[in-house]
Structure 1
């Protein structure tokens, strides 16, 4: 499908104002490269799942989108070498104790 790079990106922010957070969210929502974005606990504030066609394309995305996000102090990327499991199926019976 033309996307050979899957990156898990940890973003840490220095600004947490309502305006900075709203602008961050607007930019992330508008980016088709970002498959998911989670506000997380721990060292990073956000965890993104990003696709790109190759490493040059990913590098360009980091420079033109992620580094332009308001209040970003750190970007850490982990590239997927191989997907071992992927599902969107929820274990409903197990969660409900059935």
Structure 2
């Protein structure tokens, strides 16, 4: 797909990764296209699935989420059925911000937010461990976020 993107498409993606709230008029001026051409390209990038969502970063702590954790989860048995069921349930839990199927000794990596350690502990016991097939959860707590971005490097 990258080969199909010209410098205007990449400029649109770069600008929207920096500020998704930019208006089409501002975007068109920034990249040197007419507003209608810019809008058509942005729409095409969305239709192709290159741009999936316009989003924002929120400061978790300012919303009362003092605890950020990465939980590595093992399923047993690890079958297509237990994996599908696990992912289905995880997709409906708001505290789970991200879920990845991973290689190695663990099956999934989750990014989880909670108000504090007590709430996180209760979440693991009452919610995560209650999902059928979950047999182990290993947690790493975030002490401080050093880098956070959703921007994908576009190269040249």
Task: Give the structure-2-normalised TM-score.
Answer: 0.58
Larger radius of gyration, structure 1 or 2? Answer: 2
Name the counterpart of 1:87.
149
Secondary structure at the counterpart of residue 111 of structure 2: strand
Name the counterpart of 1:58.
120
Cα distance in 2 between the residues matched to 1:11 and 1:80: 17
Secondary structure at the counterpart of residue 86 of structure 2: helix
- The CA deviation at 1:22 is 2.1
The answer for unaligned runs of 5 or more in structure 2 is: 1-62
Q: RMSD in angstroms over aligned alpha carbons?
A: 1.0
- In the TM superposition, structure 1's runs of 4+ consecutive aligned residues that sit over 2 Å from their partners are 16-19
Structure with bigger helix share is 2
Name the counterpart of 1:39.
101
Structure with bigger strand share is 1
- The CA deviation at 1:64 is 1.1
The answer for unaligned runs of 5 or more in structure 1 is: none
Equivalent of 1:20 in 79, 82, 85: 82
1:6 aligns with 2:55: no
Task: Give the structure-1-normalised TM-score.
Answer: 0.90
- The CA deviation at 1:56 is 0.8
Q: Which has the higher contact order (CA 8 A, sep 6+)?
A: 1
